[in-house]
Structure 1
Amino acid sequence: MPTSDELPSGQRRNFVEELHHYYRAAGRPVLRDLEQPLKKSAVSRETARRLLRGETLSRWTSVQAVFEALCAISKIDPDATRWGGEWNNDDDRSSRQYLRDLWNEAVDEPPRTARVHRLDDPWATSTSRQAQGGYGIPSDEPPF
């Protein structure tokens, strides 16, 4: 699970925490062990890694494939009610639907704004692309 510095609180973190619930239930398999269950869906182990790290939200079909692979390893029925028994009886969503709802909320979450480092002197040149907003300052020099 990524640290709170790597993945701050919010909808994306909620989604990744839920996905990690199934990852832990599956015994924390190495990504190589997920290759075979993911083969039919054409989801790469790199995509699975990036989902588990919170680096991507991918498409629902990819998320679902990783989720189903983890459920198969852990022998969890993905369509069973997530909160069975006396736990939160008013929520009868399945584990799959609960994860999909979290995924939708994460996708709909507005992107975090990156900190922009402003230059003290707008006419000064800087080698920092981040300080320049990633585009660079136009130059009077010819391009050759």
Structure 2
Amino acid sequence: MEEFLDHAEMLTANLLAFEARRCFALTLDGLFERQLKIWVMAHLAKAELARVARAEFVPLLYEAGFRHGLDLQTGAVGTTIEELHLLGSVVPHGDGSSLTKLRNRAPHLWRYANSFAATLSEEHAILSETIEVSDGDFARYMRAVTRFWGLADREPGAVVDVPY
């Protein structure tokens, strides 16, 4: 019985950690998207503001990178932020085209303990609830966002590569 309770506690702690990381990723994505739009709009003529307000995220990300000469290839900044944005869309909605894109792009986010859990999850269409964002995944998202803003910052001493 003691062993069962220990395993149940570990499973609950792991599930709670995955949920927390999904929420942190959702928050990081929302904050980045909002700041990106504000930053892009601050550097545009009034005639372009309405277009940017309606722009889809990924094209806006790369347009901003191109316009400001940001290297979004090194360190996979662009593709990592795209993955973060898909995750940020999947977490609150749970299904749809973003989930399909995320599964194709980042299958590592689904680490099933066994095939039974995978089958059960897919049968009940709860794939978003089985996303396992690791500490490494979240650190990768943080590095990409920090690198983006570090590249965008033209002041001396801007942080581009973080130590984590």
TM-score with structure 2 setting the length: 0.29
- Which structure shows the higher helix fraction? 2
- Larger Rg belongs to: 1
